């Protein structure tokens, strides 16, 4: 029977590309999303992949949705923590809500989804968790103390949980994307984006599928020796 994979924030951008790559890998894929029902409906119509709405920052919602999905589709062996938001601003103008919301969704979401699924993976002796970090969690970024801290936290979370899963066949890895051509990057003002692209050695933004291929390596049956690692896919912008 095909292994079941959940991709959070799977209905748009990088998440959609990850869903398609995992489907191609033969997985039963389920996409989660946060609130954009129209985008989710269009995604499911386009891909045939079911989509389910809940807030990954809500601990109880992660637990009960993952339990319900496991009852319907089978045990969840693969989780890709991809859902993420930005609430940019320099520190002296950033509200506590903007700090908290980014931490709650981007970093808290990883904890909540792992709490819901890691114990089962551990018991069954096989699992794959992939967390989507960011180049800005590695290098920092002006105007993003909240996002950079949350993404940097994801890299630490990954290494710690990898140590807990290693003996039980559960790998935990991270991808640190550079700037990828999605809605999130479309929100960056054009003059700022031009300056960013000028700093990318390959001379262009990345494509969502280029991140998805890295995820598919970590989720593969053959990827079991890779754990606690962070794969940077950033066009050479930051060599970590
Ligand atoms: P998008 O903004 O295009 O898509 C974000 C996805 O996350 C959507 O499906 C959205 O759902 C979902 N989402 C947002 N909030 C929640 C929530 N509370 N609960 C569940 N789902 C939620 O993002 P990208 O594809 O650009 O980014 C994907 C990941 O990659 C993020 O973690 C981002 O930080 C990271 N990243 C992106 C980079 C880039 O250049 N694009 C660079 C480095 C990292 P809905 O449609 O309902 O809003």
Mean pLDDT by 10 residues, the chain (240 residues): 97 98 98 98 98 98 98 98 97 98 98 98 98 97 97 98 98 98 90 93 97 98 97 94
Domain CATH code at residue 186: 3.40.50.720
Distance, CA 82 to ligand 1 centroid (Å)? Answer: 6
Pairing mode of beta strands 4-7, 170-177: unpaired
- Domains of the chain: total: 1
**Which residues does 232 contact at the CB level (< 8 Å), separation at least 6?**
135, 138, 176, 178, 238, 239, 240
Q: Is residue 239 one of the residues assigned to a domain?
A: no
Supply the pLDDT for residue 184.
86
Specify whether the CB–CB gap between 91 and 69 falls below 8 A: no
Question: What whole-number distance in Å separates Cα of residue 57 and Cα of residue 34?
Answer: 10
Catalytic pick from 33, 142, 147, 240? 147
Instruction: Kindly give the interhelix angle for 37-47 and 13-24, rounded to the nearest 10 degrees.
Output: 30
Q: Which of 14, 149, 207 to mutate to test the pocket of ligand 1 (most atoms within 8 A of CB)?
A: 14
pLDDT of amino acid 79: 99
DSSP, residue by residue, 23-86: HHTT-EEEEEESS-HHHHHHHHHHH---EEE--TT-HHHHHHHHHHHHHHH--EEEEEE-----
Q: Tell me if 135 is assigned to some domain.
A: yes
Residue 231 belongs to what H/E stretch?
Answer: strand 230-233
Q: What is the model's pLDDT at position 1?
A: 87
Q: Taking the model in full, what pTM does it have?
A: 0.98
In a domain, 202, yes or no: yes
Q: What is the domain extent for residue 95?
A: 4-232
Q: Is 147 a catalytic residue?
A: yes
Measured from the Cα of 36, ligand 1's closest atom is 47
pLDDT given at position 222 = 96
Inside any domain, residue 240: no
Tokens of 239: 């060599």
In a domain, 189, yes or no: yes
Centre of ligand 1 to C-alpha 169, Å, is 28
Q: Is the CB of 52 under 6 A from ligand 1?
A: no
Is residue 76, in this structure, part of any structural domain at all?
yes
Kindly give the distance from the C-alpha atom of residue 13 to the centroid of ligand 1, in angstroms, as a whole number. Answer: 7
Tell me whether residue 201 is in a domain: yes
* Structural domain contains residue 237: no
């Amino acid at each position: 029977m095909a292994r079941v994979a959940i991709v959070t924030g799977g209905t748009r951008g990088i998440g959609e590309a990850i869903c398609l790559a995992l489907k191609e890998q033969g997985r039963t894929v389920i996409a989660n999303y946060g609130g954009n029902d129209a985008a989710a409906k269009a995604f499911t119509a386009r891909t045939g992949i079911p989509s389910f709405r809940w807030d990954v920052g809500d601990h109880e919602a992660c637990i009960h949705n993952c339990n319900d999905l496991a009852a319907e589709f089978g045990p969840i062996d693969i989780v890709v923590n991809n859902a993420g938001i930005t609430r940019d601003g320099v520190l002296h103008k950033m509200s506590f809500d903007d700090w908290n919301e980014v931490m709650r969704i981007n970093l808290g979401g990883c904890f909540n989804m792992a709490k819901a699924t890691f114990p089962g993976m551990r018991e069954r002796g096989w699992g794959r968790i992939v967390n989507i970090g960011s180049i800005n969690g590695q290098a920092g970024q002006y105007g993003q103390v909240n996002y950079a801290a949350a993404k940097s936290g994801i890299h630490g979370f990954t290494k710690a949980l990898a140590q807990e899963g290693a003996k039980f066949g559960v790998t935990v890895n991270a991808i640190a994307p550079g700037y990828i051509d999605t809605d999130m990057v479309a929100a960056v003002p054009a003059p700022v984006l031009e300056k960013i692209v000028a700093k990318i050695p390959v001379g262009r933004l990345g494509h969502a599928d280029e991140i998805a291929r890295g995820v598919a390596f970590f989720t593969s049956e053959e990827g079991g020796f890779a754990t606690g690692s962070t794969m940077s896919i950033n066009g050479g912008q930051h060599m970590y």
